[in-house]
Amino acid sequence: MCKFEHMKSLHYAILIIGSLAGAFLCIRITRYALKNILYKYSKSMKEDPTSLWFINSAINFIFISIALFFIASKIPFLSSLGKTLFAGAGVLAAVIGFASQKAFSNIISGVFILLFKPFKIGDTVQIENGMKGEIEEISLRHTSIRNYENLRIIIPNSIISDQLIINSDIEDNRVSKHLFIDISYDSKIDKAVNIIREQALKHPNLIDARTQKEKSENLDQVVVRVVELGSYYIRLRANVWASNTGRAFELHCDLLKSIKEKFEEEGVEIPYPHQVEIHKEAT
């Protein structure tokens, strides 16, 4: 009798391990197929891979669920436990409903993201709390964002769906960057404007975003304007364009350096705050 019970326990253990191993094997095969075949196909055909990753997440959930149901149906103890729990369906439904409320909310939000596409995999986004990065994965439960420090920010779909999102890549990847430069009142404005424009036009990341009408009217590719007369400075703003967010950041940083160095060569002063002290002699 003891030997029979031991054999039965061993049979159940093999059944559980085999079912879970089969589910995880199916998940790995599916993930490999989607990542290394369909994803590459979507890249070559310039299709959005977001749907593929979402389907992959859904299939993983289905395989695990099938394995768990199969195990429960084959093991008498789990089957009888399920029937007992089913008898108290009212309480069970309330418990499951409460426990799974957020899970289903995340799934529904994920489906809405897939349908309406406020962002997709590869988009550079900034959410309202200031976090910024590239969308790396959209699953049934969460959205993963890789920031510029190569850290992963995991946000539940129900939360990110309620966020105010700035998407730099939706419809048009081009980015307009405002470059603010201050000069002193003793400096020549036209000279500073020419230096800023020349340095911008030399940068490889700069693109020409003018319309055909603007080009026909010979409007400047880099527009530089006086935007403020401060207490000790004249503020200039240059409007430059790049093909995406990353190149716009490089363009901005490089121009700050090259313009500052050129100002030093040409004698254009970048002012700094100063105070005038008046000393009165006692009478």
pLDDT of residue 45: 47
d(CA 51, CA 121): 9
Phi first, then psi: give them for residue 94, nearest 5 degrees: -65, -40
- The pLDDT profile of the chain, 283 residues, written as one tens digit per residue, is 454 455 555 555 666 666 666 666 766 666 666 666 555 655 554 555 666 666 666 666 666 666 666 666 666 555 554 555 445 445 445 455 555 677 778 878 887 887 778 888 888 888 877 788 888 888 778 888 998 888 888 888 888 888 888 887 777 788 889 999 999 999 999 999 999 999 999 999 999 988 888 888 888 899 999 999 998 899 999 999 998 888 999 999 999 999 999 999 999 999 987 666 666 676 5
- pTM exceeds cut of 0.85: no
pLDDT of residue 236: 96
DSSP state letters, 70-117: HHHHH-HHHHHHHHHHHHTHHHHHHHHHHHHHHHHHHHHHHHHHHHH-
Two tokens, residue 70: 């199969």
Two tokens, residue 19: 């079912």
pLDDT of residue 4: 46
pLDDT of residue 3: 47
d(CA 12, CA 6): 10
Two tokens, residue 132: 């910024």
DSSP conformational letter for 3: H
pLDDT of residue 51: 60
Residue 58, judged by CB atoms within 10 A of its CB (0-12, 13-18, 19+), counts as middle
Give all strands (DSSP E) within the chain, no chain letters.
Answer: 124-127, 132-138, 142-147, 152-156, 165-167, 175-183, 223-229, 234-242
pLDDT of residue 38: 55
Question: How far is it between the farthest Cα atoms of the chain?
Answer: 117
CATH of 99-171, picked from 2.30.30.60, 1.20.120.1200, 2.40.30.10, 3.40.50.1100, is: 2.30.30.60
Topology of domain 175-266 in CATH is: Alpha-Beta Plaits (3.30.70)
pLDDT of residue 96: 54
pLDDT of residue 219: 86
DSSP conformational letter for 228: E
26 phi-psi bin (left φ>0, alpha ψ -120 to 50, beta other): alpha
